[in-house]
Amino acid sequence: MKRKIGLLGGTFDPVHFGHLRSAVEVREQLQLDELRLIPNARPPHREVPGANADQRLAMVQLAVGESSGLRVDDCELRRTKPSYTVDTLEKLRAELGSEVVLFMVLGWDAFCGLPSWHRWEELLSLAHIVVLQRPDYDLDVPEVLKDLLAARSVDNPERLAQASCGYIICLSQTPLAISATHIRGLVGSGASPRFLLPDAVLDYIETEGLYRP
Ligand code: ATP
């Protein structure tokens, strides 16, 4: 059996149950050996008033804890300059080899923005793409992605396991209309985001005084 690894990149500012529940369900539906949450580096000018890279990483680590099959990968934060997803996938391919089946997991909003990503047309030569529904976003898919979906999407997860990259699958998971933007807004206005994210992450936000006006 080929090893199967899922990759969920994000700003995670902060990580919340929309990310975590999706991670668990994708791992189960696609029978992944592991799913890695990869906090993205972000240009310094966007770090205020959100959390900095160390804080975002700490929150993801607190959230994942000992969850079986979920892992935190800080590879993008360890680099000296912000890196593109295609660079991360190339690095992982070089480390893991061509046999491993890689799945790049994206919410619907991120998928619709794909044509603006650096060297986006090469992503499918490095990984499969898993698209998650996002009930809080009502976006139309760009024409170029309609063509790509027509050419590359499959319904059966078993088809994806036969190739190490190249296909797109849209999964339905428990729809959770939770966003980091909403959580930051709640904290900023003095309201509680409890039960939208793990208690350990909320305690960290309070201790560090994050997202306050
Ligand atoms: P922000 O509101 O700050 O833009 P976010 O909540 O969208 O943040 P990100 O860290 O940007 O969180 O998301 C990382 C990935 O997880 C993206 O691919 C995004 O589409 C996906 N994602 C985020 N929230 C959800 C959710 N509730 N359901 C499904 N996918 C999600």
**Which residues approach ligand 1 with their CB closer than 6 A?**
10-13, 18-19, 22, 106-107, 109-110, 132, 134, 176, 178-181
**Over the stretch 126-172, which tens digit does the pLDDT of each residue have?**
999 999 998 877 888 999 999 999 999 999 998 888 899 999 999 99
**Over the stretch 94-112, which tens digit does the pLDDT of each residue have?**
999 999 999 999 999 999 9
**Over the stretch 31-83, which tens digit does the pLDDT of each residue have?**
999 999 999 987 666 666 689 999 999 999 999 998 889 999 999 999 877 77
Report how far ligand 1's centroid is from the alpha carbon of 178 (Å): 8
Report how far ligand 1's centroid is from the alpha carbon of 8 (Å): 10
Report how far ligand 1's centroid is from the alpha carbon of 111 (Å): 11
Q: What would the DSSP string read from start to end of 25-92? A: HHHHHTT-SEEEEEEPP--GGG-SSS--HHHHHHHHHHHHTT-TTEEE--HHHHSSS---HHHHHHHH
Report whether 197 contacts 17 (CB < 8 A). yes
pLDDT at 45: 66
- Residue nearest atom 6 in ligand 1 by C-alpha distance: 179
* pLDDT confidence bin for 177, thresholds 50/70/90: very high
pLDDT at 80: 79
- CA distances to 93, 100, 106, 125, 210 from 156, in Å: 24, 19, 18, 19, 42
Q: pTM of the prediction?
A: 0.95
Annotation: CATH topology of 4-177: Rossmann fold (3.40.50)
Report how far ligand 1's centroid is from the alpha carbon of 66 (Å): 22
- Residue nearest atom 28 in ligand 1 by C-alpha distance: 18
- Point out which residues pair with 168 in neighbouring strands: 129, 153
Q: Determine which helix (DSSP H) or strand (DSSP E) holds 20, and give its type and residue range.
A: helix 17-29
Atom of ligand 1 nearest to the CA of 22: 29
Q: Residue 16's closest CA among 204, 209, 213, 207?
A: 204
What are the residue boundaries of the structural domains of the chain, listed by start?
4-177
User: Helix (H, G, I), strand (E, B), or coil: what is residue 207?
Assistant: helix
Q: Residue 9's closest CA among 79, 97, 74?
A: 74
